[in-house]
Amino acid sequence: MLAAPSVLFVCLGNICRSPLAEAALRARAAGAGLDLLVDSAGTGPWHVGEPPDPRSQATARAHGIDISNYRGRQVKPEDFRRFTHILALDHDNLAGLRRIAPADATAEVGLLLDHVPGLAGQAVADPYYGDDDGFATTWAQVDAAARALVTRLTA
Ligand code: 4NP
């Protein structure tokens, strides 16, 4: 039997970009009536247990989504068996995922923006050290990816 689709988004800290990708896909999947397991994680350990960056929370809230209950966690070997798709927000984190993938990984591991026409091969830039505009750009990119993923997973 084919496993139901499940998607894990991975950035570095799991407090800026991947929580927004999680929020966008949860909302787009709900809007499409698509039952999907969605989660996010970081390759780094620094923000485990922390809520998303206040700027990410504000960005999600501006789109009607409350992510204040999300908590940072680090990607772990069983994620590669539990999720059907693991999508990195940038190339460094994609390389990090490939380094830690266990031999019996079943997840399809790839770059998030490869799913967005016109943005293939590009990274979602890290907005952590930038201004609020960076978070708006992040939202636009992860929401475009969420829409494309829902189309792909409902096809
Ligand atoms: P994220 O952003 O990977 O989009 O969650 C970052 C958050 C924190 C750090 C780096 C990136 N940090 O170095 O603490």
Nearest to 18 by CA among 64, 63, 66, 70: 70
What local confidence, expressed as pLDDT, does residue 3 receive? 67
- Clarify whether 39 is annotated catalytic: no
Under a CB-based contact definition with an 8 Å cutoff, are residues 115 and 141 in contact?
no
- Clarify whether 16 is annotated catalytic: no
The residue extents of the domains of the chain are 6-150
pLDDT(119) > 90 = yes
- Clarify whether 17 is annotated catalytic: yes
What are the CA-CA distances from residue 25 to residues 39, 104, 123, 150 (Å)?
Answer: 9, 27, 18, 8
pLDDT tens string 46-96? 999 999 999 999 999 999 999 999 999 999 999 999 999 999 999 999 999
Tell me the backbone φ, ψ of residue 85, rounded to 5 degrees.
-135, 130
Percent of the chain at pLDDT > 90 equals 94
Is residue 16 within 6 Å of ligand 1 at its C-beta?
yes
pTM exceeding 0.85: yes
Q: Domain 6-150 maps to which CATH number in 3.30.1280.10, 3.40.50.720, 3.40.50.2300, 3.30.479.30?
A: 3.40.50.2300
Is residue 12 within 6 Å of ligand 1 at its C-beta?
yes
Q: Residues 129-144: what's their mean pLDDT?
A: 95
